[in-house]
Amino acid sequence: MKKIGFVGLGIMGYPMAVNLIKAKYNLTVYDVFREKADALLKMGASVAASPREVAAQSEIVITMLPSNEVVREVLAGAEGVFNGAKQGTIVIDMSSSSPTLIKELHAKAVEKGLCMLDAPVSGGEPKAIDGSLAIMVGGAREDFERVKEILQAMGSTVTYIGSIGSGNVAKLANQIIVAINIAAISEAISFTSKAGLDPEVVYHAIRGGLAGSTVMDAKLPMMYNRDFKPGARMMVHIKDLRNALEMAHEISAALPLSSQILEYMYSLKAEGKENIDHGGLVQFYEKISHVVVQKKTEGLRSCSGDKND
């Protein structure tokens, strides 16, 4: 059984690591917050004192981290994975990272005799928990084939995209679509709420039509239930859209909608809301429309005065 290291036990990383343990992999973990690591220790994992120590004990190292800066430090820093890994180790960054950064880190990995894949995920916390993430992989095809079974323990869809960095290009496309979907849903449901309609009723009326989507099913009930506990933090989506715009500028691609939505998210960040779920984007629309999207607790009355359920 392959020895796997896992660094980063946040909202997504922790349940992903749990699924690797359930799949009977030999797991060594590290996180700056010891509590999650200790919970995995009770499930049978080993706990290391640094990313470098994780790598020294592993044949394959997976990272799931919140920002480009943290990814760079965890992989290439003094106590990073690259300085502890043995030649031939496969490093898989499953964070949502800048494709430019991934290519830079890949070059450093190759210098040390290591292999590297980028394998960002989509699906949020619920799919991380049930192991049904969509995983997009970039890197050498032979390295992908060596770890495909491991990735399948965390995701129901594991797709090889192409050369190193291409996994994150696909993920950025995913994040663009998700952001625009959330914005469209927020705009529409703020509009119907302002018109006096129950957003829950509107949701059930339109979800089976062309407007229905996985994003709508995941985020619209959160909006009208006022549940903004993060499954995917606003700050992470801000980072992803920044990465997308950075790359778009490099390749002369136009992202006008993404640029506008990023500004809406920055507006919420300025209000201290960067750690709410990205579905909380609806709060921007609520503010400018002077409305609250919330399901109604009372039924309507018929023309005879009787309530309808």
Name all domains of the chain by residue range, CATH numbers in brackets: 3-164 (3.40.50.720), 169-289 (1.10.1040.10)
Q: What's the pLDDT at 57?
A: 96
More confident residue, 308 or 178: 178
More confident residue, 70 or 309: 70
Q: Is 239 a catalytic residue?
A: no
Mean pLDDT, residues 200-225 taken together: 97
Q: What's the pLDDT at 308?
A: 54
- pLDDT-derived band at 300 (thresholds 50, 70, 90) equals low
Q: What's the pLDDT at 306?
A: 59
Answer yes or no: is pLDDT of 3 > 90. Answer: yes
Read off the pLDDT of residues 157-205 as tens digits, 9 standing for 90 and up: 999 999 999 999 999 999 999 999 999 999 999 999 999 999 999 999 9
- pLDDT-derived band at 232 (thresholds 50, 70, 90) equals confident
Q: What's the pLDDT at 58?
A: 97
Q: What's the pLDDT at 297?
A: 75
Picking from 165, 154, 87, the residue whose alpha carbon sits closest to that of residue 123 is: 154
Q: What's the pLDDT at 301?
A: 56
Catalytic residue among 3, 86, 112, 171: 171
Distance of CA 87 to the CA centre of its chain: 30
Residue-wise DSSP of the chain: --EEEEE--STTHHHHHHHHHHTT-EEEEE-SSHHHHHHHHTTT-EE-SSHHHHHHT-SEEEE--SSHHHHHHHHHSTTSGGGTPPTTPEEEE-S---HHHHHHHHHHHHHTT-EEEE--EESHHHHHHHT-EEEEEES-HHHHHHHHHHHHTTEEEEEEEESTTHHHHHHHHHHHHHHHHHHHHHHHHHHHHHTT--HHHHHHHHTTSTT--HHHHHHHHHHHTT----SSBHHHHHHHHHHHHHHHHHHT---HHHHHHHHHHHHHHHTT-TTSBGGGGHHHHHHHHT------SSPPBPTTSPBP-
Q: What's the pLDDT at 302?
A: 55
Q: What's the pLDDT at 307?
A: 57
Read off the pLDDT of residues 28-60 as tens digits, 9 standing for 90 and up: 999 999 999 999 999 999 999 999 999 999 999
Read off the pLDDT of residues 145-159 as tens digits, 9 standing for 90 and up: 999 999 999 999 999
Q: What's the pLDDT at 22?
A: 96
Answer yes or no: is pLDDT of 217 > 70. Answer: yes
Read off the pLDDT of residues 115-135 as tens digits, 9 standing for 90 and up: 999 999 998 899 999 999 999
Share of the chain above pLDDT 70, in %: 96
Answer yes or no: is pLDDT of 252 > 80. Answer: yes
